[in-house]
Amino acid sequence: MAPRAAAIAHVHVTPVAVPDPPLLNAAGCHEPLALRTIVEVEDGAGRVGLGEAYGDDATVAALQAAGRAIVGVDPWALAAIAAAVHDPQVHQAAACSRAAAPALNAPGATRSRARHAYAAIEMACLDLQGQQAQVPVAELLGGRRRDEVPFAAYLFYKFARHAPRDGGSAPPEADAWGEVLTPEAVVREAQAFSREHGFTTFKLKGGVFPPDDEFAAVAALRQTLGPEAPLRWDPNAAWTVETAVRMGERLREIGLEYYEDPCPGMEGMAEVRRRTGLPTATNMCVTSFDQLPDCVRLRPVDYLLTDPHFWGGLRETVRLSAFCQDFGIGVSMHSNTHLGVSLAAMVHVAAAMPHLSAACDTHYPWQRGQDLLRVPWTFRRGCLRVPEAPGLGVTLDRQALARMHAAYLVSGMHGRDDGAEMRRHVPGWDDRRPRW
């Protein structure tokens, strides 16, 4: 393609840190700050496309290298951009330039961080394409199929406050959600999420307490929400197959929309599905297209949890939805801690999916307005409206971006370590999985 005024002129990569509550999961506890990276892909006319990715050193380095590699390329030339971003030499150079990250040279790490980098670059390029052509990203992904995207309440066990940091400062204050460690507190959290955002689907992040203790919370949720409310439980592969089957037998009378990753691996999940008859879901044992033949053969799940950040970008995630439709697999969407650019991408992807059979996950309410958009997202009846403006339809609040970038710089953080954070709360805690 000939050079065009619309070609990529600059790429800005800005890591940011955002306050995060002390949420618990099988890997430990969320730290006081979560890292993300904002990518801005700017064309010659000054239009800026936005992307968002993880904020660990490896992803930042991959994005910086990818950004250098695509200057001068047309933002519509996504195959050329993917080739440039996945070029091992690009990432070799990135790894060599960061003495602090020697582990980045592992081939598997190279592949996955290139995939993560591409997803954010593609996100920004699609936003830019949409602005250039004056169409929303959902249309670029094959066409908007729904005007609203349903989301689920993402319920977590949590501490009341973060642990004191090394150096002996005063303990942080409790956050507004308070401590959530009992069935009663989980129910109160669900009620608050329902009241504030209108969610009607609920998921409990498990794998934190012994399975029977968590079961009491799931049973309390069912009791409160009524027999029809879609309810999920996600122990993040913290259990053995036998534990998952035993809990599955208890769960049958409660009824779950799906049983998400109770144990690791496709074989284990397939066995749990077969022995319990419960619908299962995963974002752990099937996470890439090359696993789909085994997924079809073993049938570990009834639902695949898609995610544009790790399924190879927005387009590939829509393609995954179509695959699931062909093969009779349900589709939902996975979430990590994220900001509003990622949420915009998730909404456009979900709007374009030919097959979306369950409400999407999102951590967004846990950021409680700590976003870098001029207009943060607001849930109505648990749903988000698909933007009709060109591109992703969101605009950066540059002051918020600068503030969050400054927070990143002073944080000294290099990634996410829920285990180390958990040990600040519970000395000697270890991340064994399966734990039960």
**Residues of this chain that bind a copy of itself (CB under 8 A):** 1-2, 4, 6, 74, 76-82, 129, 132-136, 139-140, 142-145, 289-290, 292-293, 296, 315, 319, 322-323, 326-328, 352, 388
- In the complex, what is the shortest distance from the CB of residue 364 to a copy of itself, in angstroms, rounded to a whole number? 25
* Nearest one of 268, 326, 258, 260 to 292, comparing CA atoms: 326
Of 129 and 243, CB closest to a copy of itself = 129
Counting every residue written for the chain, the total comes to 436
Q: Is the peptide bond before 434 cis (omega within 30 degrees of 0)?
A: yes
Name residue 13's amino acid: V
Long-range CB contacts (within 8 A, 24+) of 421-425: 421/22, 421/28, 421/29, 421/30, 421/31, 421/163, 422/24, 422/27, 422/28, 422/29, 423/28, 424/29, 424/163, 424/164, 424/165, 425/22, 425/29, 425/159, 425/163
425 catalytic, yes or no?
no
Q: Where are the beta strands (DSSP E) in 100-257?
A: 148-150, 153-156, 202-205, 231-234
205 catalytic, yes or no?
yes
- In the complex, what is the shortest distance from the CB of residue 129 to a copy of itself, in angstroms, rounded to a whole number? 7
Annotated catalytic residue, options 158, 162, 197, 205: 205
DSSP string, 274-336: HHH---EEESSS--SGGGHHHHHHH---SEEEE-TTTTTSHHHHHHHHHHHHHTT-EEEE---
Measure the N-to-C terminal CA separation of the chain; round to a whole number of Å: 56
Instruction: Please check whether residue 301 is in contact with residue 332, taking contact to mean a CB–CB distance below 8 angstroms.
Output: no
Annotated catalytic residue, options 334, 338, 348, 363: 334
Instruction: Please check whether residue 113 is in contact with residue 62, taking contact to mean a CB–CB distance below 8 angstroms.
Output: yes
DSSP state of 182: S
Show which residues are catalytic: 205, 334
